[in-house]
Structure formats: C-alpha cells, structure tokens
Amino acid sequence: MSKPKVATDWMAGCAGCHMSLLDMDERILQVLDLVDLRSSPITDLKEPDINGVDVGILEGGINNTANEHQAKLMRSRCKYLVALGDCAVFGGVPAMRNFFTLEETLRRAYIETESTDSEGFIPTDPELAVPTNVRAVHEVVPVDLHVPGCPPDADVIFYVLAELAQGRIPDLKGDKLHWH
Amino acid sequence: MYHLIIDDKEIEVQKGTTVLNAARLAGVEIPTLCDHPALEPYGGCRLCLVEIEGARTLQPACTLPASNNMVIHTQTKKVTDARKFVLSMLFSERNHFCPYCQVSGGDCELQNAAYDEEMTHWPLQPNWNHFEVDASHPYFILDHNRCILCRRCVRACAELVGNYTLGMEERGSKTMLTADLGVPLGSSSCVSCGVCVQICPTGALIDRWSAYRGHETDVQKTDTICVGCSLGCGIDVITRNNSLVRIDGDWDAEINGGVLCEVGRFLPMNDSRQKLVTPLIRRDGSLKAATWDEAMTAITDKLHPLLNNNRGGIAAIISTRLPIESLHLFKQIFADNFGSKMVTSTEEGYYTVGFDGAGKQIEQQNGLNAIGESDLIMTIGVDLSNDHQVAGFFVKRSIEKGTRVIPIHTEKTSMDSLTPYDTLIQKGSELNFVQALNAKLNGEPYEEKLSKSNVPVSKLEEIANLLKQAENALIIFGSEFSAKNKPEVVQAIIQLAKNNKINFINFKGKANSYAAANLGLDSKFVVNNDQVAYLTLGDEEPSQLLLQRVENAAFTIVHASYHSAVTAMADVVLPVTNWLEQDGHYISADGIVQKALVALQPSVDVRSNQDILEDLATRLQIEIDNQWLQSILQSTASAEVQPA
C-alpha cells in the first residue's frame, strides 16, 4: 500500500498550528515515514495535487474570498478534511472582529491604528480578496475531524497524523482534547 | 426509604432526595452547571437531563425528587445527545472563545462539561452579538459575553447573602444579568462580599486581583480561618510562589459555609502598607537597621532592671488579631513576671466588658447557626450591615424565610429598609429600652423607662408581642452602647434573654478579643511618662489614640509587620509575621477554638510574635509555659469555650 498523501494549508490564523506541527521534533521523521506530505505552506508545493490527496489539513478560519477558495479547493481535492486549531474549528482569535462591522474593522486596521503614520486608506484593488466575516471551516465546507487547541499540542497533532496514516479515525478526548 | 435504579445501580434514598443527589450517592456522575451544593436546586441550565423510565420527556435531575422504584438512565444516547445540544446552545449564545478567557484550561465548568461530552467543536456558531463588560466595580469585573445565565450569582446574592443586588432582566435570548434596576455594579447596592465571583462557573465574573495569576492546578490552597473579626470564618487562602493570589470562602466551613465579606475576601488583597523587613534600633535620634541579637539585647537590657521591682515600669499592649499562644506568653511575661498592672490588648475590653461571668451561668449563648434556626431575631448594639457582616448576611437571608428581624439602632442603617420592625431609639437609652422591654414582658410597669428611649408605646408592645409569639427567638448584641453603663446594658440583655428563654449571640471585636478577655487582657491602656511601652501590634494598624498614648513613653518597643506612625517613633522595632505568615489558635465569638495555619512564608529577617516572646523570656530567665488552653478554660471571665 502506498503512503497516504497529506496536504496542508493555512488561512486566517497565526501559523501557530503549523509551528506546533514542527514542535513534535524528531517525531516529524516518523510522520514522514508514514505519510507522503505533498503540499503545505512550509514546503515548496503550495496547492494540493490536482489528482487529490487522502488527508487535507486546514489551519485558520475563513475571513475573505481567497480563504473561501482555499477551503473549497482543499475540500474538493481531499478525501478526509481536518480542521486544525481553534481558528479552523471555532473562528478563534480572528473571529473577535465579528463583534464589529467589517467597515469598523477595516477602518481600525488601515486608518486608525497607532502605527499608521500617513493618512491611511482602505485598499480597494480589485485583485485583492474581499474581506468577509470570520467563519469556522465547517461553516464553509464539511469537515471530517475537528482538532481544537490554540494551538493543538504537538503530541495531539502527532497522534492525529499517526492514526490517520494508519487508517484509523483519531478519538480526541481526555488529555488530547483542549480548546485553548 | 425509596428504592431506585440508576444506570443499573440499586440504591435506597430518603424521601425528598433529588435524582441528582441520589445519583451522587450511588456514585453516578451527572454533569451540572446551574446547580451548586450551597444553593437551592434551580433547574435552569438543563445539562443534568436524564431519562426516567415511563416519563414522556427527559427530566432535570437537579430538581426532580426521586420517587419509589424509579428507573433512571444517565448515559443513553438520548441523554448524551441532549447534553451536547444544551452545551451547543450555550456556546452559540454569547462569546465563549476559550483562548482569551481567564478560566480556560481547567477552571471553567462550561469548558469542562464540553470536554466531558467529548465535544471537539460547536455544531452551532455564535451569533456575534456584542455584550458589554461592566468594569465599574472596584474588586471584580462582570463580562456579559461569558455569562451563561445560570443565575448562580443571582441565587447566591439572594439565598446566601440576602442582598438581592443581582437579578435578571428581559426574557429568552435578551436575558441579561443586572445589578439593582440596571445600574453599573460599581454604583449598585452590592456589598462587595464576592460570593458571586466565587460561585460563577465561567469567566463571566472575574476577580481583578487574581485573574490570570494561575489556574487551580498552579496554585496552593491553605484551609485556614479569617482573622478579620470575631466570627472566625473558614477561608481558603490561594497562593502561588509565596504570594497571595486570592481568598475564597471555605464551602465546608461550619461557621460561614463559604460566605465571606469584603473585609475577609478583598481587603487583604488591597493592603498597600510597607512591610518591615529588619529589626530597627534608634541611634542618634534615627532608626537604624540592626541584627536580631542587637535588638533583643537592647530590649533585654532595658527590661531586665524592671523585673520584679513591682513599680509598674512597663505598659504592655498586644493586638487581638494575634493567636492565643502569643497572648498567653505576653500575659505571662508582663503581668505574671514583671508584675505590671498595665497589661492589656488593643481593644481594651471594649467588646467584652459586662460579659464577665455571664456566659457560664446560662446555656443560651449560641453559635451562628442559631440565626438560621430562629423565627425572630432582635439585634442591638451592633450594626450587622457594617460589622460582622457575614452574620448580617445570615440575618438578611433569614428574612425571606419568614424570620422576623428587629434591628434596634440609634441611627438608621441599611438593614432597616429590609424589615418592617426596625426601631430607632435615643442614643444612650439602651438600658432604659431593654429594661422597659423586660418589664413589659414580665407584666410590670414600663412607661417611665420607655419614655427616655423615645420609642412609642405601640412599638414596644409590638416588639413584646412578637417576642412572646416567637418559638425560637434570638438576640444578637454587640458593644455599641454608651460607655457609662455598658456593663449594665449587657447584663440587662442577658437578663432579658434568661427571663424569657431567648437565645443570644454576642459579637466581640477582632479575632481574639474573646481570648484576650479570658486572659484578663481587657483593661484600659494608660502610659506614664517614665514607663517603657511594649507594643505587640503584629499586623494591626495602630490607632491615632494609641499613638497619642505612647508618644511620651520613656522608651517604646514595637512588634509590627508594617511601617506606621507608631513604628516611626519607637526606640526598637521588631519585624514580625502577618496573619498569613503565622499559625496559632483563635476563639470565635461563640467560643469555638480554631487553628489558623501558615499560608505564606515570611521574609528571612521576620520572626513570629510567639518566637520573639519566647526568646525574650529566655533572655530574661523567666519561666513560661504553653498551657494556653488550660488558662483559658480556667478563666472565669466569660462563656464556655469548646476546645477543637
């Protein structure tokens, strides 16, 4: 049997979940023995294979049209989708902005921040993604497994990847389940 | 007894037991949120839903009384699905993002409940309504975003404290926790007892001082007693890395059952006084740091010539916040060995005078639990909305249960608006009033005495009738009577109680006023110009009056934890442990001996009062013993003491 193919991507998150993935230290070699890591933000290939992968992993919530595209692309090219970390699972810290209107958020980000030295303006280039409310991944595409945590521990990520690589559905409970 | 089957476990329970409590007895865990052992069952959160055979729908275990032969299932799919649904609804209601919450990571009952149900996500996302944060209160913050409307705080405020500050407004998803009629907490009728913060299951009510200073698993807990007043409430002192994080009421404490007041819970956190860290000796007019040996030698040299000369060269005073061990050593050294006539405590008998010998003759002296058992409570000489507040809470909460409360005051207090029987009497006329009441109850003439107290005849008759009708009446009295006839007032009250078979509770001042009185440390403090003043203050803040009295002493020696005006003028200052850094025994107002434990380690050069007094006795070659309990029990001063 060939090794299961895995692709990862990040959206509205802080990259902390991918850092936590790397935080499993030498066990990353064990993971790479078990899976064929195809694309990820921290390797050369950025998009999942056009022929599809077995497991897709998404970090971050969905906060603009580009993220929507990423999520849909991953969903369409993977058999089993994992939402990794609190932002992908719940919306997380970026979702704090949902308590304000988009207009307020953009004004704060581009005009009112203390670090804006000149007048500041809200970018309107048509090539840019359009901001939306921050959504959890499962609000946009169906998710097969939620792995909460801010970030999930390296141990939890290792457990999830090792189980999936060996064809088992991870069972997150007890020590392996935390939301913070 | 009822016979039940819960998840295949058979159990017999008393009639009236709820299904939840029956399950607990059977060792079956049912998750709860709005339920709390200190509160009446409420049935608000629906997390405890269980399946009862024969019942049409799932039933809340917390409010459902068990009936005979009931068969209960707590782990069926229907039940666990319902729990997850209840939790999903709670999470969708407001902002429950865990990463930036104070209690996340073990201290949140909502999060823990979700973990127990193995929820990896929220099936329903929040609807992003914005809720205010009320940060107007000096001690804690109310974040409506984290509130799950379980009403534990509302019920604690009402059921435990009797204050009714917190309530709910609106219905359904618009329901909001409010203070009074919708004012900020900081300007509400809140009395800052903090029970709501302690009982909140989520991060909706968080304490400013302890927030983000460590989870329950990061901190140490010391189960000890409060020394804020003579009640002796049980507390949990929460510390981390030898620093004070928080003080919680001890839910299991017999005296207070978890309830605390502002003095016990929050004031110790707000102590900004500067600690003394090294002995100081006055040299060339100013206080200079010294070694312990230098300081103790200086004191010994000063005191030794005064030993056995019986000329009363020493005036000694000790704080009633200190353990009996220290009080007892102090008394032995200065009264028994130096023979000084001026050995007393910082309360100078203010709270115990007149009580002499009274307690042992009668059995009507009661503990705080008597408050909950009485159908009539009369208070006199004490404002329980200010002093001994926890007892005040118990009185207030009894009003709702039908207890008639008659506060007798010389000035209006906040207690008065809660009861129709509040009675204002002329200042200084307590004796007349008590005697008139006694006479009325005995069917003797009373009008003349009553006229001096400015109380109308109809009012006295009403009170007398209420007392007559009461099956279990209680008088709570303090010491706020005019100085000239205080002993007579106290005796008259005890007489009134005795004649009419009324129970009574007498509150003393600070933690060990009672012990001090038992040891005879209760006279008025006077210092002559040629005397050595020996002040064992501990962590008590010295009064202006004390400062004036010792100003002209020839030589002043002070044990103190903190810098103060008195330490500034002293000749020798000995840095001592504060209440959290020392252990020792206290006698509560109702005569219960309790031990306070060490919760924090003192800084290296700080010693306990007991240690210093023992050292002093050794240096002066004075014989002392540690038989404090014997001394107390032998004392004829006041009521029965119950050794721990």
The CATH number that applies at residue B424 is 3.40.228.10
Q: Is residue B82 part of a domain?
A: no
Name the 3-class secondary structure at A98.
helix
Specify the pLDDT at position A167: 92
**Concatenated DSSP letters for B431-493?**
HHHHHHHHHHHHT---HHHHHHTT--HHHHHHHHHHHHH-SSEEEEE-S-S-GGGHHHHHHHH
A159 touching B (Cβ < 8 Å): no
Q: Is residue B90 part of a domain?
A: no
CATH code, B165: 3.30.70.20
Q: Is residue A122 part of a domain?
A: no
Considering only alpha carbons, which residue of chain B is nearest residue A100?
Answer: B130
Domain end, chosen from B506, B529, B557, is at B506
CATH code, B62: 3.10.20.740
For chain A, which residues score pLDDT lower than 50?
none
A148 touching B (Cβ < 8 Å): yes
B212 touching A (Cβ < 8 Å): no
Q: Is residue B84 part of a domain?
A: no
| Cα-Cα-Cα-Cα dihedral sign, residues B176, B180, B181, B186 | negative
Specify the pLDDT at position B508: 85
**Quick one: B626 and B523 in the same domain?**
yes
Inter-chain contact B121–A89, Cβ cutoff 8 Å?
yes
Inter-chain contact B128–A138, Cβ cutoff 8 Å?
no
Tell me if the pTM is above 0.90.
Answer: yes
- Token representation of residue B73: 């299932």
Q: Is residue B80 part of a domain?
A: no
**Quick one: B175 and B318 in the same domain?**
no
**Quick one: B497 and B366 in the same domain?**
yes
Q: Is residue B644 part of a domain?
A: no
**Full domain range(s) for residue B464:** 358-506
Specify the pLDDT at position B643: 60
Specify the pLDDT at position B639: 53
**Full domain range(s) for residue A137:** 5-97+133-175
Query: Contact, B277 vs B603, CB < 8 A?
Result: yes
Beta carbon pairs, A and B, within 8 Å = 63
Considering only alpha carbons, which residue of chain B is nearest residue A134?
Answer: B128
Q: Which positions 64-93 of A are in contact with B (Cβ < 8 Å)?
A: 83, 86, 89-93
Those residues whose C-beta lies under 8 Å from the C-beta of residue B394, and which sit 6 or more positions away, are: B162, B259, B368, B371, B372
B5 touching A (Cβ < 8 Å): no
For chain B, which residues score pLDDT lower than 50?
360-362
Inter-chain contact B104–A180, Cβ cutoff 8 Å?
yes
What are the residues facing B118 on neighbouring strands?
none
Specify the pLDDT at position B210: 93
- The total number of structural domains in chain A stands at 1
Q: Is residue A106 part of a domain?
A: no
Helix axes A154-165, A27-34, angle to 10 degrees: 20
Specify the pLDDT at position B399: 94
CA dist B1 and B17 (Å) reads 10
Inter-chain contact B98–A172, Cβ cutoff 8 Å?
no
B99 touching A (Cβ < 8 Å): yes
Considering only alpha carbons, which residue of chain A is nearest residue B98?
Answer: A180
Chain A residues close to B217, C-beta within 8 Å: none
- Token representation of residue A37: 């890591």
Specify the pLDDT at position B360: 46
Inter-chain contact B125–A91, Cβ cutoff 8 Å?
yes
Inter-chain contact B99–A93, Cβ cutoff 8 Å?
yes
What is the tally of helices (H) and strands (E) in chain B?
A: 20, 27
Q: In this structure, what are the phi and psi dihedrals at residue B379, rounded to the nearest 5 degrees? A: -115, 140
**Quick one: B628 and B523 in the same domain?**
yes
Inter-chain contact A99–B121, Cβ cutoff 8 Å?
no
**Quick one: B211 and B128 in the same domain?**
yes
**Quick one: B459 and B384 in the same domain?**
yes
CATH code, A93: 3.40.50.700
Q: How close A41 comes to chain B (CA, Å)?
A: 24
| Cα-Cα-Cα-Cα dihedral sign, residues B394, B400, B406, B407 | positive
Nearest to A83 by CA among A17, A175, A22, A154: A17
Inter-chain contact B115–A177, Cβ cutoff 8 Å?
yes
Q: Is residue A127 part of a domain?
A: no
Q: Is residue A49 part of a domain?
A: yes
Considering only alpha carbons, which residue of chain A is nearest residue B126?
Answer: A90
Query: Contact, B185 vs B136, CB < 8 A?
Result: yes
CB-count burial class (<10 Å; 0-12, 13-18, 19+) for B319:
buried
CA dist B248 and A155 (Å) reads 35
**Quick one: B518 and B497 in the same domain?**
no
**Quick one: B407 and B301 in the same domain?**
no
Specify the pLDDT at position B641: 64
The minimal CB distance from A90 to the residues B97, B111, B118 is found for B97
**Quick one: B340 and B466 in the same domain?**
no
Domain end, chosen from B473, B506, B539, is at B506
**Quick one: B293 and B429 in the same domain?**
no
Inter-chain contact B105–A95, Cβ cutoff 8 Å?
no
Domain end, chosen from B456, B481, B506, is at B506
Specify the pLDDT at position B356: 61
The minimal CB distance from B120 to the residues A92, A98, A177 is found for A177
Chain B residues close to A160, C-beta within 8 Å: none
The minimal CB distance from B120 to the residues A91, A139, A146 is found for A146
- The total number of structural domains in chain B stands at 4
Chain B residues close to A159, C-beta within 8 Å: none
A180 touching B (Cβ < 8 Å): yes
The minimal CB distance from A99 to the residues B101, B118, B128 is found for B128
Q: Is residue A180 part of a domain?
A: no
Q: How close A103 comes to chain B (CA, Å)?
A: 16
Chain A residues close to B97, C-beta within 8 Å: 86, 90-93, 95-96
Specify the pLDDT at position A2: 84
Considering only alpha carbons, which residue of chain B is nearest residue A140?
Answer: B125
**Quick one: B576 and B479 in the same domain?**
no
Q: Is residue B85 part of a domain?
A: no
Q: Is residue A168 part of a domain?
A: yes
CA dist A62 and A60 (Å) reads 7
The minimal CB distance from A92 to the residues B97, B104, B105 is found for B97
The minimal CB distance from B121 to the residues A95, A148, A150 is found for A148
Specify the pLDDT at position B504: 87
Chain A residues close to B95, C-beta within 8 Å: 99
Angle at A56 between CA A55 and CA A62, to 5 degrees: 160
- Cis geometry, peptide bond prior to residue A151 (ω within 30 degrees of 0): yes
ipTM score above 0.85: yes
- What H or E segment, with its residue span, contains residue B526? none
Q: Which of B80, B91, B98, B100 has the most A C-beta neighbours within 10 Å, making it the best mutation to test the interface with A?
A: B98
Q: Is residue A118 part of a domain?
A: no
Chain A residues close to B122, C-beta within 8 Å: 90, 136
B104 touching A (Cβ < 8 Å): yes
**Quick one: B500 and B518 in the same domain?**
no
